[in-house]
Amino acid sequence: PPDTDDPAATLLSGIMKMIGPTMMAMSAGSMVGHLSTRALGSYHLPIPRRATSELAIVGPNVADFVDEWSVDADDVGLWICLHELLHHAVFNIDHVRERIMALLQSFAAGFQQADAGALEQKLGNFEPSGDLEGMQQQMQQIFGDPEMLLGAMRTPAQEAIVPELESLLAVLVGWVDHHLDAIGQHLIGGHEQITEAMRRRRVSAGPQDRFVEKMLGLDLRRDLLERGQSFIAGVVERGGEDQLAKLWANVDHLPTPNEVDAPGLWIARIDLPDLDEPATGIDE
């Protein structure tokens, strides 16, 4: 907190409260613009959309992907359609959509409680002078990294939300990948090549892509995606597809962060008689 007896500290604190949202808005606008050049469909990021029966595929970006990876355009189009439909199927389950939306909204609301003091520390080495160009360069160095800005503004309440949010999305992406592989290998000629290209593209995303993710509390890094894949594989290994079909059955079946790392614990919990309710999720 600023020293209330120091007018300069009070002024700096006020400036930081104004700079934070402004810098966030400027960075977000730039990054969302970048995202529009990379998204292949509605679910480029695995987050819920408003209720609709329509899905979007971004033709120019798909064409760029086809050229970059030298894959068949028709096969890629079918792969993306399956990818979008599988995400849409899960997010159309009310309790799944509502839980993930609640976590995303809580995380976003946390920026309103961000400590201006954290941003003040970023300005600790800022030296005002009569050299406007030099001052601009200093500001660019301080705020030029959007992830640094987000890190400075992230609150303990937001940190508490991240484990559940990341775990649920890792499992969701793992579930989509599992079914996409099961269907695609019989339906799409170049399925393995396209899948490998998509996965490389996903984990090699640049800072601009990562910034958009982290604004929402996401960090779709390789180890997180592998956690989701391992959970799905562990469930199928222990109980087959019938066991996996229970995943989205009701809100009590959503795995906890600890269960994502131990699928046997999840199976044991959901198979308890008092939680063994008729499935209302996706028919497998």
pLDDT tens for each residue of 177-223: 999 999 999 999 899 999 999 988 887 776 666 777 777 777 778 88
Give pLDDT, residue 13: 44
Domain boundaries, the chain: 67-97+162-197+216-284
In the predicted structure, residue 18 carries a pLDDT above the cut 80? no
> If you average pLDDT over residues 130-149, what whole number do you get?
57
Share of the chain above pLDDT 90, in %: 46
Give pLDDT, residue 47: 87
pTM of the model: 0.76
Burial status of residue 231 (CB atoms within 10 A of its CB: 0-12, 13-18, 19 or more): buried
Give pLDDT, residue 15: 40
Question: How many angstroms separate the CA atoms of 189 and 183, rounded?
Answer: 11
Longest CA span, the chain: 74
Task: Kindly indicate the confidence band of residue 22, based on its pLDDT and cuts at 50, 70 and 90.
Answer: low
> If you average pLDDT over residues 167-182, what whole number do you get?
96
Lowest average pLDDT, out of 20-24, 40-44, 165-169, 179-183, goes to: 20-24
Q: DSSP string of the chain?
A: ---TT-HHHHHHHHHHHHHHHHHHHHHHHHHHHHHTTT--BTTSS-----S-S---B-HHHHHHHHHHHT--HHHHHHHHHHHHHHHHHHHTSHHHHHHHHHHHHHHHHGGGG--HHHHHHHTTT----S-HHHHHHHHHHHHS-HHHHHHHH--HHHHHHHHHHHHHHHHHHHHHHHHHHHHHHHH-TTHHHHHHHHHHHHHT--HHHHHHHHHTT----HHHHHHHHHHHHHHHHHHHHHHHTTTTSSGGGSPPHHHHT-HHHHHHHHTSGGG-PPP-S---
Task: Kindly indicate the confidence band of residue 10, based on its pLDDT and cuts at 50, 70 and 90.
Answer: very low
